[in-house]
Structures are given as structure tokens and as C-alpha cells.
Structure 1
Amino acid sequence: MNGYVVSVFSSVLLLTGIAVETNAQNAAAEAQAHVAKARAVAYRPDHDISDTFDSMCNPLKPGATQISGAPVQGPRAPRSKEPYAWWAPPAKVFDNLYYVGTSNENNQSVWAVTTSDGIILIDSAYDYTVKELITNGLKKAGLDPAQIKYVVLHHAHGDRYFGAKYLQDTYRARLIMSEADWNVITKSTDPAELKPKKDIVATDGMKLTLGDTTLTLYITPGHTPGTLSTLVPLKDGNQRHLGYLLGGRGAEMSDYGVPYFPDMATAMRTWIASIKRFHDIAQKAGADTFLSIHPQHDKTFDKLTAVRFRKPGAPHPFVNKEFIENHVTVMTECMEAQLAWLKSGSN
């Protein structure tokens, strides 16, 4: 009898092991199917989303709290605060939009939206770049930095807001961020001297109107608890376009000493839902122009060069509805792959 029980128990263990292995294999195959969908739209010479694909479509390291990028090949130098490492010239992109962010290597976009009643900045980059890139950059572009009225801070990471206190103190610019991310700043381990005073709290669907221009802000959690994403009206001669700016890239469960979500799976599911929701809103609104918070994500500098050499009557290099669609596909399919890898035990 005892032998029979042992035999049955062993059979159950064997079958359980086979089932677990089968489920893991199925999940791994599911992950690869999602990766294939992302890969299919991630690259062509004039349509490059490869940086996002490489950063998002790799299994997470054990214990990872964020999707932090592609595996590093060899040693990586620390980010330098010296101007040679981050300086970039200002660039006019549309009649009412300028790029005043960092170089491709430093990888921090800042956009200036000009209106009939002043300037709205989209993010502020770092404390050590703000004077040269924003104050002096706007002047070089023929604009007056004293006309900065609002700064939309898309999430509570230093690359978005470390320059904001200077703008708040120097130009009395109003800062806008979600309540959740204002709270992140309060709790974070970031240097206290770089934290701005809490100002305007963004709400979902909030209309930010300055003069003849209205931006629409949406709360899209997942990168941080209260990441903002924004629709930006754009002018190109007599043509009107609508910019689509997703306020983050990788899902994160914690950062800078602050927990965002209970686990990575929750962070990714939240971010996927936010991306799809913002995409649907943007699509219905007619968004046709991708604006990136990091220039490497969409090869912004290649597009800036194309704008500089654009011939009269030629299509605008930034206007491309298909790019928005494919970027959403890469982002969501790569995170679905991450979730499948979690199920398979590959993460």
C-alpha cells in the first residue's frame, strides 16, 4: 500500500513538473510572439524606433524595479555635467515649437511652445543645463525667456524637473505636475535644493490655455504614479498639426527611494493601459506628430536636420501618424513580452 501511495505521489509530482515546464514554454513562446510584433514595426531608414525596441524588448534582470534599457555592451562612462557632453543648439521645429533640450548623448528633450501671450515649456531638463539651453537657447532663437509663463513637468524624475526651480525663481514661471508626482518629489531622495515649490496640480483632461494656444494634459500612470502626457497644437504655415507627447518610456515600480507600484507586473499593466488610453484619445483628436521626451527614442536630431534642409512645400519631417501607431505597438508589445517572461520565469 505504501508503495502504491509513493508511486501515485511521484506520478503527481512528475505531471506537475511537466505542466509547469509546459506553461513556462508557452509563456516564453508568447513573449517571443510579442517581440516579433514589435520588431516588425521598429525600424526602417526613415522610421526608426530601434532605441525603444532595444530598451524595452529584453527580459528584466532579477529584482529589477524598472525597464531600464538594453544590456550594456562593455563599460559605460558616467554622464558628464560638462557642456561638451550635453550642449545642443536651439532649433525651430514648427512655427510655434522650438527644441531647447540637450544633445543626443545626454538625451533630454525640452520643447518651447510659443503663443500670443508667452511661452509654455515642456519639461526643464537638469539644473546644470537650464541656463545655457533654455535661457540662452531661447535668446539665440530670438525669443525672450522672461516670457516663460508655464512649465509642464511630465513626471517626477530629475531629468524632467531639476531645472524647474531655476525657472520658478528667475522668471516666476508656473509649474504644472500631477498631484501624485508632486508627492513623489516630496518623498524622493533627490537633493532638497533642486526641488521646486509645489505649484499647479494637473488634472486629467486639463486644458492649459495661454494666448491663442491650448495644450491638453492627461494623467497616464505607469512610468511614475502620475506621469502626464500632452497634446500640443502645432503650426506649419497655413497647416495645423497636433503633437503627441507620451510622458515617459519604461514602466517603473520604484525610483529615487519612492515606491510607485507594488510590483513590476502592476507597473507594466498600468503603463500599457495608460499608453493605449492616451493613444485612443490622441487618435480621435487627430494627433499626427510624435514629440519625444528623449531625442534618442525617435532620432529627433535626424528630424531636426531634415527640418533644416526641408524644401518649400515638402512634407514636414516630424508629421507622421504611422510613427505614433508603430511607437505604441513597440511600447505595448514589448511590455506584453515582459509580462510573459515573468510568467515563464525568464525574468
Structure 2
Amino acid sequence: MKRYRIALFCVAFVLAGWILNFASAAGPNAAAQKHIDIAKAAAYRPGHDLTALYETVCRPALTGKARDENPPAKDPAPGSTVLASVKVPPHSEWYFPPAKVFDNLYWLGSHADSLSTPQVFGNSTWAVKTSEGIILIDSGMNFSAKELITDGLKKLGEDPAQIKYLILTHAHSDRYWGSKYIQDTYKAHLIVSEADWHGIEISPDPTELKPKKDMVATDGMKLTLGDTTLTIYVTPGHTPGTISVLVPLKDGNQRHLGAVWGGINPNLYGHGVRNGPTLEAVIKTWSASTARFMDIANKAGADVYLTIHPGYDMALEKIRALPYRKPGDPHPFVSKDEVMRFLTIIKECGDAQLATLGSS
């Protein structure tokens, strides 16, 4: 009888595990689905396609599986990556010509193709032109910084020696590996949150690519250069010190406000650095940051989303359309609705993942 009970218990235990696995494989639970439906409804408008963002950020909830289920056994040592071992992709896989997007804003980023296999989401470097110099937002990779930024500005008729500041949205290689080149070449000031300066310090990224610590970004910080003032907000979650930025823009006599959201996915581990005590805690932080920045951007009247990865919002298609714009035509980047929809997808997909993890 005892053996029978033990056998019955084992069968029940295995069956329960199978049911849980089946439920997970079947997709999101009801609570998660509510958030997914909101995110999906925000994913597409003609000319402002955010479906690649939705499919990427909501994937953990759509599959019923949380990200970072298998964290590294131990944190890597700072500077443990050998620069010579970092693979440089072929030029054709990352180069994209520079572009003037607004009268005072240039895009100096890399190629993206969200329809390719595998998908390529690219990287953005934004250059804000002011009456007293240039402010960069992110630097991209080390191997592309000179050609995309230095040579790109020259092609657009600008002097890269006028680069005065470089804001880094977060401490990941695709944001900052080109920053030391900018710092050393142009003596530009680097602006990073305190938490992400620490992230750079402890990351396994090659020591040769780590910039010297400089200015610390604080929440609500105003950066004024000449006739232009950018506002910086600390929006943690993608990294412990991710920052987002509001950028005044000019289009002839019209004035607009760009919003740079500093990350895409919440991660427990990112580029070798632990971002919080648990994945649940990180996602809650990210969701709160998103809700707060949505409110800030909405009240400020932000009507241009300035992407950090052009593959998520079809930014390159908009750039390609700019030369065909006729006087009086709407600007392809201007859409307050897109700013709000982008942030809605980020938040709702995060909340869906929380529901998948068993939180509300």
C-alpha cells in the first residue's frame, strides 16, 4: 500500500509538472493577455509601424516564458573580454549613409532590417546641432564610430571638432563602445548616470574601450549648449541607470520635441552586469520608469520618437522618404501618437511579462 501511494504521488507530481509546462507552452495567461492586447492594438498605424517592437518586447509574455531564465553561473570579471576577440561584421552589414532629419538634428547610425533573418535592429547616434557646437546621443560601436560619426558629420557639412558633449543612454556596448574614441579625439564631455558609470566599470567589456569617468547625469538635468537645452531623465530598468532625453527640434518655422527612450527590454543580466535582485524587480522598475516618462513626454508635448534602434520603428524608411518630402508635406518623423504608442508597447509588454511571472 505504501509503495502504491509513493507511486501515485510520483505520477501526480510528474503530471502536475507536465500541466504547468503545457500551460506555459500554450502561451500567456489571462492577466498577461490583457496587457498584450493593449500593446498589440498600439503596434501599427500606416506610416508608423511598431510591429517589430511589439513582437520583440512582448515575446517573453507571448511564449509564456520569462527572459533570463538561465543567468550565468557567476559574474564575469571586469574587463575580461579581449578586444582582439570581438568580431567586426562586414562593412555592408552595418554601414548606412548619414542623414539630416531636422534642421538641427542628424542621424549617424547603422543599417537595420527588421524583416531579415536574423533581424538586424541597428544602432542610432543622434547629433543635435546648436549655436555653440554639437551634442551626440550615443556613440555606437568602436569599429563604426569614426566612419559613422566623424566622416558622417563631414559628409553633412559639419565639423566633428564641434562635438562638445556625448550623452550615453545606457552602459551597453552598442551605446558606448565608440565613446572613448569621441572622448579622446574631440575632448568631448561624456554624460552617463552614476549607476551606469559603475556598470561600465564592472562590465567584462574590453578595458581599452572604457571611457574615463566624466559628468554624471541626474534626473531632470538640463544640458544647455548655445541656443538649445536638452532635458535628461533617469529611467532605470534596461540597465540600473538608463537615461532618456527630451530634445527640442526645428523644422523650418515649426518647433517639435523629440523623445529618446533609453532602452528596449528589461533584463536581469545585460552585457555581463546584473541589473537587479530579481527579474521581477527589474521589470517592475522598468514599468514604473516607462509610465513616468510617458507622463513627462505627454505633458511636455513630445511629438517625435527618436529611436536608439531604427529597426524597431522603421526609422530608416522615414529617412529614405525625407528627400521626397514636398513643401507643406507632413514630416515623416512627427507623430505624438507614435511616441505614446511606442512607450505603451514597452510598458504593456513589461506588465504582461510580470503577469507571466505571477505578479499583477
Same topology, TM > 0.5: yes
**Structure 1 equivalent of residue 108 of structure 2:** 100
Q: What letter corresponds to residue 298 of structure 2 in structure 1?
A: Q
- 1:85 aligned to 66, 69, 93, which one? 93
Q: Deviations over 1:213-260 (max 9, x none)?
A: 000000000000000000000000011000011000100122233211
The answer to whether the Cα contact below 8 Å between 2:68 and 2:268 also exists between their aligned partners in 1 is: no
1:182 aligns to what SS in structure 2?
helix
1:83 positional shift: 1.4
1:53 has 2:61 as partner? no
1:31 positional shift: 1.1
**Which shows bigger deviation, 87-96 or 301-310?**
301-310
- 1:186 aligned to 194, 201, 221, which one? 201
1:63 has 2:64 as partner? no
**Structure 2 equivalent of residue 244 of structure 1:** 259
Q: Deviations over 1:89-141 (max 9, x none)?
A: 11000000000111114600001000000000010001100010000000000
* TM-score normalised according to structure 2 size: 0.83
- Distance in 2 (CA, whole Å) between partners of 1:106 and 1:318 is 18
1:334 positional shift: 0.9
The answer to whether the Cα contact below 8 Å between 2:42 and 2:341 also exists between their aligned partners in 1 is: yes
The number of equivalent residue pairs is 318
The answer to whether the Cα contact below 8 Å between 1:31 and 1:340 also exists between their aligned partners in 2 is: yes
Q: What letter corresponds to residue 258 of structure 1 in structure 2?
A: V
1:146 has 2:161 as partner? yes
The answer to whether the Cα contact below 8 Å between 1:229 and 1:247 also exists between their aligned partners in 2 is: yes
Q: What letter corresponds to residue 54 of structure 2 in structure 1?
A: F
* TM-score normalised according to structure 1 size: 0.86
1:289 has 2:304 as partner? yes
- Distance in 2 (CA, whole Å) between partners of 1:81 and 1:116 is 36
Task: Point out where structure 1 has 5 or more consecutive residues left out of the alignment.
Answer: 1-5, 67-77
- Distance in 2 (CA, whole Å) between partners of 1:62 and 1:203 is 29
**Structure 1 equivalent of residue 115 of structure 2:** none
Within a 5 Å distance, the mapping from 1:5-84 to structure 2 comes to 28-59=29-60, 60-61=66-67, 63-64=69-70, 80-84=88-92
Q: What letter corresponds to residue 152 of structure 1 in structure 2?
A: I
- Distance in 2 (CA, whole Å) between partners of 1:230 and 1:95 is 18
Fraction of identical pairs, as percent: 55
- Distance in 1 (CA, whole Å) between partners of 2:59 and 2:96 is 31
**Structure 2 equivalent of residue 69 of structure 1:** none
Task: Point out where structure 2 has 5 or more consecutive residues left out of the alignment.
Answer: 61-65, 73-85, 113-119
1:61 positional shift: 5.0
- 2:148 aligned to 133, 142, 146, which one? 133
- Distance in 2 (CA, whole Å) between partners of 1:51 and 1:106 is 9
**Structure 1 equivalent of residue 221 of structure 2:** 206
The answer to whether the Cα contact below 8 Å between 2:68 and 2:279 also exists between their aligned partners in 1 is: no
1:310 positional shift: 0.7
Query: Cα–Cα, structure 1 residues 304 and 135, in superposed 2: closer, same or farther, change >3 Å?
Result: same
The answer to whether the Cα contact below 8 Å between 1:108 and 1:295 also exists between their aligned partners in 2 is: yes
**Structure 2 equivalent of residue 254 of structure 1:** 269
